[in-house]
Every structure is written in structure tokens, then in C-alpha cells.
Chains A and B, each alone.
Chain A
Amino acid sequence: MDVEVLETQHSDVVQDISYDYCGRRMATCSTDRTVKIWSSDAGTGKWRCTAHWQAHESSVVRVRWADPEYSPSLIATCGFDCKAILWELKSQNGARDEWQSTAVFLDSKSELNDLAFGPPHLGLCLATASNDGLVRIYDSADPPDYKVWTLKAQFFGALVANPPARVTAVSWNPSPVDSGGMVVATAGGSSYLWIQDRDRPSWRISKILAGHTGSVLSIAWAPNPGRGYHLIASSGSDGQVILYKVPTTLRPSQKTEVPVLEPLTVLEGHTGPVWRAEWNVSGTALATSGDDATRLWQSRAHDSSQWHCVGTVDPVSM
């Protein structure tokens, strides 16, 4: 694979990178407490930093773009200062754009590990994952303004409240056909699949995704163009990348009898913690990133249980 190094000029670890919906802009966030926005030149493909500001009082660990249906330039960040913040582009002044905070979420008293905007068919909503074990879901009450949000739901991601397992990652079901669904990863090694009742706004547990022997660091629900089932990928500190096959019709379970879903397959290859797993837009290729390398995985066309590594990018030597 061709590799190009982008000098971000962040003064510390780059924690996250996120493309916008069209893939023309990128946001990076870092332990140096700042966020940078990058724009790609349509002709040359070169990236240029168009905005840079201090976003949090501690490490910024996640940055996500909202769907452009709601705003062409709206991002959310979260960090170890226990805050999630919404930022909107306010003005563009030639070489430098100005972004302003439109909403701050302070409900968590513990560090936030992840956040994710819901799929657009559910409205403008945002889920956060916190070290206090809670998943919080916020709904925008006033779409054109983005200042007014309400806490619509919160629940312990791992069901158990005492002690609560840290929630490390969260991923929404992107399919517009199904009712609301979300998978929540925890430091306890399991992930939990939650679904939203069509008739009520409450969230109910559906399945437990087992398989990891260490903390689950990342989880991603694959886009589903015409498959008869869902795929979820998780990666963990145990070096494993696990794929789960989930039926499209999910039922809520009793909290005391939650069925456990075994892995569809385990992708072998990484030799250390795997920090991130992300799907491509068609849900047919998976990228995983670990301390040892970044790998690209694809399945056999006719057999989703068989995956092979089709490319590897070794860490760039510093």
C-alpha cells in the first residue's frame, strides 16, 4: 500500500482522526489538548490545516463529525477532562477558519473514552462512553441551533452497576431499516448489544458479545449494503480482532438471561494491543490499527467467516 505521512504538528500523541461525510475534510485530536481541522485540495489531494484550537483541559481522545444533514460543519470531541463538547464552524477567513463551542456536556464525572453521533434517521443524537460505566445519549431539541440538548437516556453499558465496568467504546447500528441499536465495549472484555424499543425511548439489552480476554479498545458496527445479517468488529488489548455475526432482527432480553454471542471469527495477525477497528463504507473491508502495524482485512466473497489480511502498513519510524 502507498503510505504518505502527514505532519500534523501536534505536540503530543494523536489520539483520533476522523474524516467528514464526503471525505474532503479531516479532524485530528491529541493529548496536547488541541483539535485540528484539515481540508483536502480537490486538485492536488494535499491536506492543509484550516483550524487549530485548544478544545479541552486534558487529552482529547475522540473527535467525530455530525452528518451534514444537520450542519455542514459540526464536530464533537471528548476527553479526559470529563467533558464532551460540540463545535461548529462560525467563520472562514481565508487561511484560518474559526470554530466555536455550541454545547458542553458535563454530566459525566469521569473521563470520557468515546462518543458517536447517531445515524441521521434517528435525528441528531450523540452517545458518550465514560469511565463511570455509563452510556449517555443526548438528543438535540432544536436542530437549527445545536445549543439545546437533553439527556434522553443513560444506562450502565455492561449491565452491572456495582462495580460498573468502564465503557471504552460505542458504535451505533447505521442501518436505517432497523430500529435504534448500539454496541458498547467495556474494559471487562465483553461488549454489549443494546436496542431501542420502537414504541418507547428506552434502551434494552439484547446480546453479550464474548471473546476478548482483555479490555475491548474499539468496536465498530459495519454498514450493511444488502447483507442478510450485521457484522460487528471489536479489537482489544489482547491483540485480537473479533468479528461477530448479528441477526438483523434483534429482540430485547431479560437482564438475567442475556444470550451470549460467540465470535464468528478471530482475525489473527496483530502482535500487540489493537487500538482501533473501522469499516469501509460498504462494510466489506476492515482496517485495524495496533502498536505493531495497521492491517486491512477482507472476506472471501462468498464466505463471510473467512477473512484474510490484504495489506499491512508498518509503523513509520520516527
Chain B
Amino acid sequence: MSVAEKSKSYRAVIQECIEALGKEHNPSAQHQQLLDVVTEGHKILWFCEALYFVDESKDSALSLLRDWLRVHDDGVDQAVQSYLDGGDDTQFWQVVSRLAAIGRRDDATELVQTRIQNVDSRAMGAAALGDASSSEPIYVAEAALLDAPPDTAEARLDGQFRVWQEECIATLEALEVKSGDDHLGLLLGVLGGQPSALQKSCRSWEELFVAGYLYTRLGGDPADRRKRSFEIASAFQPTHKALLALADSNPPEAIVVLARPGEYFYSAHLADLRSDSVELLLTNSFSEHQLDLYMVPANDQKSLRDYFVSEYALSLETLRGTVQLSADYLLSCGSRGEEILTDILCRMETQSAADPAVEKVFALSKRLSPKHSEVVVRKICTRLASNCAAIGNSAGATYWFTRANDAERAVAQAEASLTSAEIGGCHSAGAEALDRTAEAISVCDNAQIQEKLDYLRMYSELQASLINADEESSAARDAASSASALLGANGGLPEAHWGVVVYDCASILLPSAEASAEAKLIGIGKDETYSLLKALETVSASTGAHRDSLLEGLRQRNITADPEQLLSTVRLKLMRNLALCILSEN
């Protein structure tokens, strides 16, 4: 797609946007502001298209400009009609000057010639009455207008236009010496490209914009031309100054001038269009020593574009619901844009998993490079995990830390969940929470952490079995089996929890008073009993602070009982059970 086609494509989209926005009934202030912005953007793009992206040698730029102005008409035709309906002398000259300024010299010439005919008629009559007033200014105006070279690019490029303008100025200077005729002086000033005359003649910045382009752009000393451009722009807002800088063949300056915090729309899109047209170098009207701060070397066009597009995207992001749009812009800005988008996504507020922003962020993060995507996912998941931890939701915290690939904190949360279940017992809320934690881990797509925390699942199964172990022998067997697996070499259960596991399993065995030859084996087989005894001996054999830590679980569970006594009781039960198992085998 060529640059001109790209610009037209932009304008077509913006035009649709304008039409859609224009249908809104009772628009809000923000809505109206948005409409103003896109309308201004449309104007600027059209003007840029005319100035830079269309082949001037085919005169289409000039006609584009006139068409542009006709579309954004500010009452020129009404002014002409108002004069024709009975306007005075002053009105005549204002209308003629205005028509000339905006490039409608043919219409201006026609008006002048019509007036000449009327003046001639009256002059003949007045002469007959001996009251002939001078009509020189009107004839001077006609001559100046008729002497104008064709309004083509060729006439401008080969110097004809410049010569004609200089003649107009010379005539103006001569007239000022003689008569100081303001009306004719205004017209001659316009034709000669005087900024003050152009300002007086135009009624809107659009007209002044076109006038500046038509009459001040080509030829002359660049510094003088620049000075004239800024004289014209002195009374206008930055947007208009920037547009006149465009007319002054200084697009980078326009882009920079248009850049204001929160209002990067113009800069972003102008820079985007320019970056694709690197061949459109600044005209050779500026010599090297005249380059100043506003000049951007051709090889920096891309960075200029990326800078403003990313700043625009940042300002856009502050509006609600535009993060997708911001992302599109930023992803077109290379590494810089990706860094900024990563930061934006990380800062999106995500309170809980139910927040729809979470999935939106994850979806957008997939458009980033793997490195940045990982950063976003980790950040959001860690934040969600911290939120869960803050409200005591260990299952949620474990899940999200696992998804964040933060093994250390996931294990810490899992440990906290396990400790809570251990202290409370199989019927406690802690056990239910542990069950949820185990389930959360199982659905995480993180095999490494799942393997690390698999003991949580087994512990949860143990607790579930213990609930019915007193009444169901199958539940008792399942409990014993889970315990044995947990306490085995590959069980993974930290030693700190062995004491309580052994105690819980031993609790399902019959009390000693019922241990008779006919006593049933309550589902703890020989091997499982042996595993429990081994774990019990490991706890019993520990000393010092290590022993205290291993017995802490028992203390928490049985506040009044002496842990040592508990261990002894458990040992007796297990030994008896082991003996019964051996007897039953024999």
C-alpha cells in the first residue's frame, strides 16, 4: 500500500468514526471531545495527503487543497452572496481578498470584473454629469488578478508565481506611497503573500492554512519564509502552528509542536505516515547550517514515530476500555512498545480470579514475546496469590503461586494449609481447605510443582479416609494405605508432620481393653503398621530442637496431653496391631 493509499485508508476509517460518533444523541463531554479530536485528525491527514503524498506535478495537490477547504467551508459563499445582495465597498474588497486568499482567484476576478462593469456604467453617467470619481484601484486589482500565472504546480516551480508576487508587492509599495489605499492594499498583500494581509483576509484557521500554503510556501529565503509562517501562526493554537509548520515544509517540527501530554493523536499519526515516506526528505530549502533542533535525520524517523505512537498509546490507555487499542499501537513500536505494554498489563487492577480483567490480561499477554508474556503472567498470578493469602484462602494462594511458577511461595502456602488441617483434624475446616488446595494444585499446569506438592493430595485423601475409618473397615484400610505412602521414601511429606499422621492412624485401632484373640484387625495391615512404626521410631529417636519441632504438631492437636505419653500410647497400639497381624497370618 502506498503512503497516499495508507493515508486515504486512515481517513476513510476516521470518516466512518466521525459518522458513527455524529449519530449519538445527547453526547457527553468526553464523547464530544473525542469527536473533535477525530475531526481534527481527519483534517490534518487530508492536508498532509495533499501536501506530501500526492504528486504535485499533476496539480492534484492544489485541487485537493481547494476541495478540502470547500468541504470545511466557513461561509465564504454566504459572504459572497451577502455582498451581491447589497454589500458596500468595504464588503466588496473583503470578499475579493478572501476569495483570492483561499485560491479562488477566478471567482475573485469575476467579482472584480462585474464591479468594473457597474463602475464603468456609473462613471459614464457621472462623467456626463461632470462627477467622475477615480476607479483606479479596481483596475489595478483586475490587472493583478489577470496577470497571475496559471495556478499550477509548474508555474510555481519555474518561478513565474514568485515573479508575479513580487510585482504585486512592488505595486502595493508604490500605492502606499501614493494613496495608502487599504482595500486594494489588502488584496495586493494577499497576492504577494504578506502574512498580515493573509490574516486579515481569512476568517478561519483552515482558510489561513490554505492561504499560507498557496502564497508563502515556495521560493524566497527559507528563514524569511519560516518567519512569515510563524507570524501567521502567532495568533493561533498549537495545532494551527503545527499545521503551518507543515506548510513550511517542516513536518518534524509540526510533529514535535503537536505533542502535548495526553494529546499525542496528531503527532502519533503524522509521524506514522512520515516514517513510511522516508523518501520525502525535507526540501532543499534549508541548508545544512540552518538545521536546528526540530530537524530529524532520516534515520531517526522510525524512532520518532515509535516514540510518539507509544506515547499516544500510553495516553489512550488512561481512557477506560481502550487497552486493546493501546496494545495494538504499542505492539507496532518494537521493543520499546513491548516494554511499555508489559508494564501496562502488569498494572491492570486484578482483585480476584473472578475479575474479567484477569482473562483479558492473559489474552493480551499472549501477543507479547515469550519473555514479556512470562513477566506479565507471573506478576498477575503472584498478585492474585497475595490477595488470596491476605484473606486466608490458602487454596487460591497455592494455585496462583503455582501458576506464577513461584515454587517457594507455593510450597509455603501449601505448608500453611497442611498445618492448619493437621491441627484441626480430619473434621475441621482446615481439612476442607486442604482438600481445595490439593484440588487447586492438581489443575495447575505446572508438573514440577505438582510433583513437589503431591503429598498434599495424599494427605487430603488420608484425612478423607479418616473421617469414616471408625465405622468402615475399607476407609480404615484406605487411611492406612495413604499414611504408608506418605511416610515412605517417596512420599514427600515433611518429617514435621509424621507424628500426627501416625497418631491419627493409630487412633482408629481398637483400645487395649478390646484386644482379644477374637478382636478384628481394623484394616491396618502388617506392612502399613510396620511403616507407621518406622516413622514413629524416627520421631522418637530425634533429640533437642529437632524433636521439639517434630512433636509440635502433636502438641497443637492435643493441648493437654503430653506428647511423650501420646507417643508411648501410639507405640503400644501399633505393636499390638502388628502382633495381631502376624498371628492372623500364622
Contacts and interface: CB of A to CB of B under 8 A. Distances in A.
Binding partners A and B:
yes
Interface of A: 21-24, 68-73, 89, 143-144, 223, 225-226, 281-282, 284-285, 296, 298, 300-303, 306, 310-311
- Interface magnitude class on chain B: 35 or more
B140 interface: no
Given A22-B348, A68-B383, A73-B390, A302 B335 contact: no
A298 B261 contact: yes
Given A22-B349, A282-B343, 7 more contacts: A23-B347, A225-B340, A281-B314, A281-B340, A282-B311, A301-B259, A301-B304
19 contacts: A22-B348, A68-B387, A70-B386, A72-B383, A144-B416, A225-B336, A225-B340, A225-B343, A281-B343, A282-B314, A285-B261, A298-B261, A300-B293, A301-B256, A301-B308, A302-B300, A302-B303, A302-B307, A310-B261
Interface string B287-317: 0000001001000100110011011001000
Contacts of B387: 68, 72
Nearest to B261: A310
Interface string B312-350: 001000000000000000000011100110011001110
B314 A302 contact: no
Nearest to A223: B343
A302 B306 CA distance: 10
B360 interface: no
A301 B307 contact: yes
Nearest to B310: A282
Q: Please report whether the interface of chain A is mostly helix, strand, loop or mixed according to DSSP.
A: loop
A24 B412 CA distance: 29
A223 B9 CA distance: 36
A70 B389 CA distance: 10
A69 B350 CA distance: 12
Contacts of B413: 144
Contacts of A284: 307, 311
A22 B347 contact: yes
A226 B261 contact: no
B379 interface: yes
B262 to A, nearest CB: 9
B260 interface: yes
A301 B255 CA distance: 10
B409 interface: yes
Contacts of A281: 314, 340, 343-344, 347
Contact of B390 (A89, A143, A226): A89
Query: Which 8 A/B pairs are nearest by Cβ-Cβ distance?
Result: A226-B336, A225-B339, A301-B307, A22-B349, A69-B382, A68-B383, A226-B335, A225-B340
A24 B318 CA distance: 12
Contact of A303 (B293, B334, B382, B383): B293
B390 A71 contact: yes
A70 B399 CA distance: 16
B579 to A, nearest CB: 46
Contact of B256 (A143, A144, A282, A300): A300
Given A226-B335, A282-B310, A282-B343, A296 B293 contact: no
Nearest to B409: A143
A284 B293 CA distance: 18
Contacts of A226: 334-336, 339
